[in-house]
Amino acid sequence: MSAVPAPSAAVMNSLSPFDVAPWSQNHLARTEQALSAWVGHGAPAGLGDAMRYAVLDGGKRLRPLLVLAAYEAVCSGTPAAAASDEAALRAACAVELIHAYSLVHDDMPCMDNDVLRRGKPTVHVQFGEAQALLAGDALQAFAFELLTPDDSALPATMQATLCRLLARAAGSAGMAGGQAIDLASVGVALTEDQLRQMHRLKTGALLQGSVLMGAVCGHAAPAAYQALSDYGAAMGLAFQVVDDILDVVADSATLGKTAGKDAAADKPTYVSLLGLARAQAHAQELLHEAHAALAASGLPDTRALAALADMVVRRSY
C-alpha cells in the first residue's frame, strides 16, 4: 500500500481540544438505549431475562465506541446519511452482542468456570448452565438479525459486508479460533509469535472488526480503510497485553472479574512470557503503532480513535 500523507499541521491545529469523556458518555447513552430497546423482548421461558442480564448495565462498551469513532472519523467534514447513522448504531450494538455472548460462554464451567463478570455473578451462576448456553446462542444470532433489518434503507451490499466482517471476527478465523488455541495452551510454553497469534484471534479480531465495521458504515476509501485496519490490529493486541498486565497487578473489585485467574490456570500471558516491565513497554509500542496508523489514514479528525487507544493502554497498572 502506498503511504497516505497525514493531515497537515494547519488542519490538526484547527481542531479544538478533544475531551473523550462527554463524547463517550453521549455514545454510551445511545448504545445503551438501543440495546435496552432491542435485546430480549419476546423471548420465551425466561430467556429474554438472561439475555438482558448478560448485555445491559455493565461493561466498558469499547467495541461499540470503536465502531462509532471509526464511522465518525471517516465521515468527518461531510454530512452523513440517516441510513449510515442507523447502520453504525446497529453495527455498534451487534459487536457488543457478540462480545457479550462470548463472555457468557467463556465463563461457563466447561471453559473458564468463572463466577464474576462485570462486577456481578456470571450468567450461568444467576440462571443455570443450560439457560446461559441458550442466552449466548440467542445473543449471537440476534447480532446478525440487527445487521439485516426489515424495511431498512441500509443497502444490501452493506448489510452483507457487515455480516461477513462480524462473522469472520467471531468465528474460527477470529475469536472462537483464538479461544480454541487458548484452551489448548494451558500449561504449554508458547513463543511470543504463538502468543501474539492467539491474542490477535481471541481478542484483537473483534476489536479490529469493530473499527472496520465503522469504516464500512462511513464508506471509507481503500487507503483509509487499510490504515484503520492497521490501527485496529495494533490497538486490539494492546488491549490483550494490558489485560494480561491487569490480571497480575489489579484486584477483582477493580477489574469486575476474577483477578489472577490466568496464573492460577497456568495460561500463557504476556507477563508470564516477557515479564511485567517488558509487557508494559510492549503495550506502549503498540499504542505508538496505533497512533502512527491514524496519522497515515489521511482522515481529518481521528481524535476519538486516538483517545480510545490511549484509554485502552493507559488503564491503571
Separation CA 95–CA 61 (nearest Å): 9
Helix segments in the chain, DSSP class H: 9-14, 20-38, 47-55, 62-75, 82-106, 123-127, 129-146, 156-170, 175-184, 192-199, 205-217, 222-249, 252-255, 261-264, 270-274, 276-296, 303-313
Residue 256 has pLDDT above 60, yes or no: no
Residue 14 has pLDDT above 70, yes or no: no
184: in domain: yes
CB 63 within 8 A of CB 96: yes
10: in domain: no
141: number of Cβ within 10 Å: 11
Kindly indicate the confidence band of residue 70, based on its pLDDT and cuts at 50, 70 and 90.
Answer: very high
Summarize the confidence of residues 136-152 as an average pLDDT. Answer: 94
pLDDT tens digits, 115-125: 999 889 999 99
Range of the domain at 255: 18-313
- Residue that the C-alpha cell 455514545 belongs to: 27
57: in domain: yes
Report the domain count for the chain. Answer: 1
pTM, two decimal places: 0.90
CATH of the domain at 198: 1.10.600.10
- Residue that the C-alpha cell 420465551 belongs to: 44
118: in domain: yes
